[in-house]
Amino acid sequence: MELLTVTTGCQDWAGDLLCIGFWQDQVELTGEVAALDARLGGAIQELINETEFKGKPNSPSVTRLGSGSPVKKVALLGLGTAAKATLESYRKAAATAAKTAKQNKAHTLGLFLPLTDQPTDALTAALSEGILLALHQDNRFKSDPEDKPPVLEKVELLGIEGGNAGIEQAQKIVSGVILARELVAAPASLVTPTTLAETALSLAQTYGFNVTILEREDCERLGMGAFLGVAKGSDTPPKFIHLTYTPAVTPKKRLAVIGKGVTFDSGGLNLKTQGGIETMKMDMAGAAAVLGCFKALGQIQPPVLVHGIIAATENMINGHALHPGDILTASNGKTIEVNNTDAEGRLTLADALVYAEKLEVDAMVDLATLTGACIVALGDDIAGLWSSQDELAESLLQAAAVTGEKIWRMPLEEKYFEGMKSPIADMKNAGGRSAGSITGALFLQQYVQKTPWAHLDVAGPVWSEKGNAYAGAGATGFGVRLLVQWILSQ
């Protein structure tokens, strides 16, 4: 599909579907749109009147024009309040335009929006992201996809000069988001630790990353008892994945991104039950975000060195599975009484964090579908953010404001670690019922000594039961754009 900017506006555009954006309560026709309306014999004003269109960001008003018209259909898009406009308003409007084009089986789409003072490349990037993400659909597992692939061949962003760099950047980043979505959406029988390792190897081959896959024995030698404890109950071997992107220039910063890679979380002997277990193929969404981020980095080539680390395993039950009450020793020597085998993510991450810190990076960020408690606290749309350093937290919040992925800072309340104390080992792996996402973060903090570190609990936003503005139901690819934006902002 071709995606380009065109300096001329909507007045002379010809094609299948023309989407025109309006700020809320500002639907007076002026300038180009007024001229177009005159040419169309007042069809736009009629549509506004008939549908009582007010510019609210909900379903667009669409009409078919006479067969003689160079524009076959017009859609009015509501952008919401002008005063609250962000890049996300444009991203969502573009996504709605793309979905409308798909529903109307348009081959060509023209998008004409009222512009604000956003820098051109940031604007075209946001518009392209909205379009490309909304058009992505995963038909891999349908024998006869009812949802046929879109016929859209060409999208023109009207009335914009330049902005090609933004479009290209968005294409690179979206390819990473789609990789993440497809890894998360695929069943656990297909995406195993081995699959994640193979994905890392193939990215390394394509983009020239360094890659190391540590097998169980290698991890044993490194003393990764916490990670390997989780892997004990699975018949599928664990893989510890380490990717490195090294820029051609002297790196401005050295960073590590770490993803929870539990390819299926049955809960272990603290078995999950109905309502909790069905979606647990998504428990590797942090790992998927890291791999998606690397796919984007390989194409963008920013001047920053980035390590990607994934301790991949299943959390399953066989005769070797962890017993509740078992004591594990992590690679930093700390001992853990496993009082709940379902608090496995933090066990895998403990060894991943110890490993990452040895790489002597300026900052490290982990993404993990760590706790149901984070969903209780922040809902499905917002990830929790914990950080040992304000500057790092701030840089992540700023990146999230650009990408429209919502994150909210939560406290590392030390006192709550009391509930994790064990009479027999250095700590337990699970605290009580209250502040479960905070105690999860506090557990991870035990495995970081001095490197600035941030933890994102992404249990909610990586999965959407109904779909959202630019993702269908299921895997959203949350975190990829955020990681890339954060890395680029360094």
Report 249-268 residues binding Zn ion (CB under 5 A). 262, 265
* Residue 272 annotated in active site: yes
Minimum CB separation of residue 275 from Mn ion in Å reads: 14
Q: Is 91 a catalytic residue?
A: no
| 428 neighbors 422 (Cβ within 8 angstroms) | yes
Active-site entry in 39, 172, 216, 272:
272
| Catalytic site residue from 92, 260, 295, 346 | 346
CB-based contact 156:13 (threshold 8 Å): yes
**What is the distance between the alpha carbons of residues 328 and 155, in angstroms, rounded to a whole number?**
55
Nearer to ligand BES, 101 or 441 (CB): 441
Any contact of residue 345 with Zn ion (CB under 5 A)? Answer: yes
Sole binder of Mn ion in the list 182, 265, 357, 405 (CB under 5 A): 265
**Contact call for residue 314 and Mn ion (CB under 5 A):** no
User: CB 368 → Zn ion: shortest distance, Å?
Assistant: 8
Length of the chain: 490
Closest distance to ligand BES from the beta carbon of 452 (Å): 25
Piece in contact with Mn ion (CB under 5 A), picked from 183-191, 258-266, 445-453, 456-464: 258-266
Torsion angle (degrees, nearest 10) of CA 332, 304, 457, 192: -80
Site for Zn ion in 276-295 (CB under 5 A): 283
Nearer to Mn ion, 283 or 405 (CB): 283
Q: Does 129 bind Zn ion (CB under 5 A)?
A: no
User: Whole-angstrom Cα distance, residue 294 to residue 290?
Assistant: 6
342 lies in the binding site for Mn ion (CB under 5 A): yes
User: Which residue number, 199 or 369, has a Cβ lying nearer to ligand BES?
Assistant: 369
340 binds, among ligand BES, Mn ion, Zn ion, none (CB under 5 to 8 A by kind): ligand BES
Q: What are the residues binding ligand BES (CB under 6 A)?
A: 265, 283, 340, 342-345, 369, 371-373, 430, 436, 459
Q: Which residues are catalytic?
A: 272, 346
Give residues in contact with Mn ion (CB under 5 A): 265, 342, 344
